[in-house]
Chain A
Amino acid sequence: MNRRLRTLALALAAGIGLALLVVTVVLPRFQPHVFSGTVIQSQTPAPTVDLITSTGERASLSDFEDQVVVIYFGYTFCPDVCPTTLSTLKKAVDKLGDASDDVQVIMVSVDPARDTPELLGEYLGFFDPRFLGMTGTEAEVAEVATVYGVFFQAEEGTVDTGYLVSHTANLMVVDREGHLKLIIPPDATSDQIASDLDYLL
């Protein structure tokens, strides 16, 4: 009888000890990845992007099969938001180390009137030569922006006097399977972006 009680007490103590260990040490390691962006469980492929790249040829999303693609809508004359976001992205991609080969950053121009492929290439080269620019006719760009939930509009001015373009500044992330997976707000840090991308790789 005594022995039985002792066994029971031992089992109970061991159980509580184990539960404590699991909760404090083991579970945190299995914690699900918490995305800083908003996850979309879309089962349909990401909308098509088929535009002229900064290297001069035509490319579409399917050319980046098996890569994680980060799509950003911006323009080269952009005074503050775009350079900040692009340098944050550059830092995030660098943090991935060798894995960054599997990430393709694309900036689609919301200012096709001024952003030629050459200009886009030169501009993105300041941040990271691996970043790819994309542009097209006004109509082509408008269609791509629309389906990616991006609103953009040129403000007062002409090509000669210069003008600003208001635009949605979110980052869209397409996973290796070609599904639109994440929307990352423009104020995300490079650590947050790197951790989200790392998880998707």
Chain B
Amino acid sequence: MESIETAETRPLTRRPWFLAVAGLGVVLVLGAMWFKIFEPIQVLPRIRLAPGFSLTDQNGAQVTSEDLRGSVVLYTFTYAGCEDPCPAPEATMARIRDQVDTVDLGDSDVRFVTISFDPANDTPEVLAARAEAMGADGEEWIYATGAEDLMKPIIGSGFKTYFEPRDDGTFAFDPALVLVDGWGVVRGEYRYQTRSPDSERVLNHIGILGEEIRNSHGAAGLAYEAAHFFLCYP
């Protein structure tokens, strides 16, 4: 007599419901692994809040962190009295500015801001001269400084960039570029101690930010949040 397989005698691994559940589990796990390993979407980490500030630019006009809200902003820090050999992230900034048109940011735009930590000497006129030498137009790229007692909170605590006046009137400082999104959140920091910030890398990161801005709504927005969750960072 032929033996008949019944639900009771069939091994667990051959029951339809078990196969279905196991298959589903495998698909979900593989999907998550695929997402993490191949990172189909990359995002920049949301590092910390950028500082709030009110500064005066090279035209003598006020510029605040609220004015820049909604724009992607790249910051550098220096002082006009800085002479050669002066570490000049402004040169990197100029290269990025020249190529930034190749990046698609949707409705958003990129602004460039160089903040001087030497307000005692860097009057709007002095800043204007420096800005002209670097090719900053005062619209897309502005030079600005603010109240002396707020320079440490803004540049030191806020942008985490070290600077210290020396006795001879010059400054010791760590040259840096800081990338901030339209929400006022720091998304990228480029410091020379670790790796010279090349314009290619920063431009690439601005491009990643652009992708995220253009895909921030609906299902695509959820996928980008998933990329944050899985730490898909460049």
Where the two chains meet, the residues of A that have a C-beta atom closer than 8 Å to any C-beta of B are: 7, 10-11, 14-15, 17-19, 22, 32, 34, 38-42, 44, 47, 139, 142-143, 145-153, 166, 168, 172, 180, 183
The answer to whether B228 and A39 touch across the interface, beta carbons within 8 angstroms, is yes
Given A38-B185, A183-B185: A146 and B17 within 8 A (CB)? no
Q: Which residue of A lies closest to B15 (CB)?
A: A11
The answer to whether A150 and B20 touch across the interface, beta carbons within 8 angstroms, is no
Contact of B184 among A41, A42, A139, A149 (CB under 8 A): A149
Contact of A42 among B16, B19, B48 (CB under 8 A): B48
The answer to whether B46 and A147 touch across the interface, beta carbons within 8 angstroms, is no
| Known interface pairs A42-B47, A146-B154, A151-B64; 7 further A-B residue pairs with C-beta atoms within 8 A, sorted by A's residue number | A7-B16, A11-B16, A11-B20, A32-B225, A38-B183, A146-B158, A166-B66
Q: Which residues of B contact A17 (CB under 8 A)?
A: 20
Given A142-B150, A146-B154, A151-B64: A18 and B52 within 8 A (CB)? no
Q: Which of B50, B52, B149, B184 has the most CB of A within 10 A?
A: B52
B45 within 8 Å of A by Cβ? yes
The answer to whether A40 and B185 touch across the interface, beta carbons within 8 angstroms, is yes
Interface hits, B29-47 → A, CB 8 Å: 45-47
The answer to whether B45 and A41 touch across the interface, beta carbons within 8 angstroms, is yes
Q: Which residue of B lies closest to A170 (CB)?
A: B184
In angstroms, Cα B48 to Cα A117, docked, is: 30
Q: Which residue of A lies closest to B17 (CB)?
A: A14
Q: Which residues of B contact A42 (CB under 8 A)?
A: 46-49
The answer to whether B65 and A149 touch across the interface, beta carbons within 8 angstroms, is yes
In angstroms, Cα B47 to Cα A11, docked, is: 48
The answer to whether B19 and A148 touch across the interface, beta carbons within 8 angstroms, is no
The answer to whether A18 and B24 touch across the interface, beta carbons within 8 angstroms, is yes
Contact of B229 among A32, A146, A148 (CB under 8 A): A32
Q: Which residue of A lies closest to B160 (CB)?
A: A44
B87 within 8 Å of A by Cβ? no
